[in-house]
């Protein structure tokens, strides 16, 4: 596997082979449920017999695989496919990033997104951990310089993304 510089969620399962900058944005992981679901908060979904759709390998898949004790994870190939899996197979929830889940719920009446979250996903610039230390330092210093300016906020605003920037 050849990893180039990329934007990735920081996760303990990834740090063996990947070096991460300090995070530049935080994104909430939460659940999409049907309007009539008894689930009112994240904790309500970790119950025996409940099934939760996730995008395979997503940061929240890695997190939930470590944290869920009772609910069963049903993996789809992508985050978007996880929502389809939730909908078509009438699973109990779909896990994902708050904004795309909320957009889907708004476009599909009878669904809602839980108000709380199960994790905060920290996005960072990622590079191969095997890269020389001075090259990693230079890359990550550039990330810090970009974070200090207005470029990130402006880019997310143009994309219509409401995110929490980390300075």
Q: What is the per-residue pLDDT across 103-137, written as a single tens digit (0 to 9) for each?
A: 999 999 999 999 999 999 899 999 999 999 999 99
Q: Are residues 102 and 132 in the same domain?
A: no
- Distance CA(40)–CA(33), nearest Å, equals 9
Interval 73-92: pLDDT, tens = 999 999 999 999 999 999 99
Please name the residues in contact with 110: beta carbons below 8 A apart, sequence gap of 6 or more: 34, 35, 36
Q: Are residues 109 and 154 in the same domain?
A: no
Interval 49-78: pLDDT, tens = 999 999 999 989 999 999 999 999 999 999
Q: Are residues 114 and 143 in the same domain?
A: no
- Distance CA(51)–CA(70), nearest Å, equals 9
Q: What is the CATH number of the domain that holds 93?
A: 3.40.190.10
Residue 1 lies in a domain: no
Q: What domain range includes position 139? A: 6-23+124-165
**Higher confidence at residue 49 or residue 167?**
49
Please count the structural domains in the chain. Answer: 2
* pLDDT recorded at residue 1: 46
pTM, two decimal places: 0.81
Q: For residues 20-42, give the mean pLDDT.
A: 96
Residue 112 lies in a domain: yes
pLDDT band at 2 (very low <50, low <70, confident <90, very high): low
Residue 74 lies in a domain: yes
Judged by DSSP in three states, 66 sits in helix
Tokens of 109: 């009446």
| Strand (E) or helix (H) holding 8 | strand 6-9
* pLDDT recorded at residue 3: 56
Which segments of 21-95 does DSSP mark as H helices, in order?
A: 59-67, 79-88
> Which among 31, 81, 79, 71 has a CA at the least distance from the CA of 49?
71
Interval 3-30: pLDDT, tens = 578 888 898 888 889 999 999 999 999 9
Q: Are residues 69 and 102 in the same domain?
A: yes
């Amino acid at each position: 596997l050849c990893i180039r510089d990329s934007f990735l969620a920081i996760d303990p399962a990834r740090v063996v082979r990947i070096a991460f900058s300090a995070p530049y944005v935080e994104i909430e992981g939460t659940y999409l449920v049907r309007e009539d679901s008894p689930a009112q908060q994240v904790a309500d979904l970790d119950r025996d017999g409940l099934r939760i759709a996730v995008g395979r390998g997503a940061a929240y898949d890695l997190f939930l695989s470590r944290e869920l004790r009772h609910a069963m994870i049903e993996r789809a190939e992508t985050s978007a496919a996880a929502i389809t899996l939730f909908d078509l197979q009438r699973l109990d929830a779909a896990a994902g990033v708050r904004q795309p889940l909320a957009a889907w719920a708004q476009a599909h009446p009878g669904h809602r997104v839980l108000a709380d979250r199960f994790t905060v996903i920290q996005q960072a610039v990622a590079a191969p951990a095997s890269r020389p230390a001075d090259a990693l330092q230079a890359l990550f210093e550039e990330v810090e310089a970009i974070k200090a300016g207005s470029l990130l906020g402006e880019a997310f605003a143009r994309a219509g993304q409401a995110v929490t920037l980390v300075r």
